[in-house]
Amino acid sequence: MNIHTYEKAWLIAAMLLIVGFIATITYGSIGLGIAMVDDEGGSIDPNEVFDHEEFSDPGVQQVGEDEYEVYVRAQTFTFVPSPIEVPAGSEVTFHVTSPDVIHGFSVVGTNVNTMVIPGEISTMTVEFDEPGEYGLVCNEYCGPQHHEMSGQLIVTP
Ligand code: CUA
């Protein structure tokens, strides 16, 4: 082995380390179910939420045999619509935004929990295996009735 080979080996080791770090972060976010705030879901003018194609009249849309898109408005101090009904065993993608202040969108007892920022659409896909009823709560302080901000998700058989 000459010096050049060592240099190459260290270079590869350094690169593997970086890949490892990225993998750890990615795995962490999936494993713990933390929805990262990013622009994956797209952005929206908060002043136009009520005029938006989907968010003006949010609800559940079936887009495939077992696939649903759910549009939710988190607003002071409620979730629209509520209750939300989706069938068990289907792939459900939530799109949540806010027309006013920062809210949270959390499905109690699951790892669905995201911050909802005006101007951002938070998107996450989940599958509910078992039928049941879940509460929706807001985990971000949003004003005097923050503690009363709730909704319901019904997973039908
Ligand atoms: Cu909405 Cu707290």
Smallest Cα–Cα separation from 74: which of 5, 138, 15, 14?
138
Report the alpha-carbon distance of residue 27 to residue 57 in Å, rounded. 35
Count of the separate structural domains present in the chain? 2
Query: What CATH number does the domain containing 102 carry?
Result: 2.60.40.420
Report the alpha-carbon distance of residue 35 to residue 122 in Å, rounded. 8
pLDDT for res 87: 97
> Do 52 and 122 fall into the same domain?
yes
Neighbours of 93 (CB within 10 A): 16
> Do 92 and 25 fall into the same domain?
no
Ligand 1, atom 1: nearest CA belongs to which residue? 103
pLDDT tens-digit readout, 57-112: 999 999 999 999 999 999 999 999 999 999 999 999 999 999 999 999 999 999 89
146 lines ligand 1 (CB under 6 A): yes
Report the alpha-carbon distance of residue 149 to residue 77 in Å, rounded. 5
> Do 26 and 50 fall into the same domain?
no
> Do 66 and 102 fall into the same domain?
yes
Question: What element of type H or E holds 67?
Answer: strand 67-75
103 lines ligand 1 (CB under 6 A): yes
> Do 96 and 21 fall into the same domain?
no
Range of the structural domain that residue 64 is part of: 46-156
Cα 156 to averaged position of ligand 1 atoms, centre (Å): 26
142 lines ligand 1 (CB under 6 A): yes
> Do 152 and 92 fall into the same domain?
yes
Whether 53 is covered by a domain: the verdict is yes
ipTM: 0.98
pLDDT for res 1: 58
Round the average pLDDT of the chain to a whole number and report it. Answer: 89
115 lines ligand 1 (CB under 6 A): no
pLDDT for res 39: 54
pLDDT for res 154: 97
pLDDT for res 91: 95
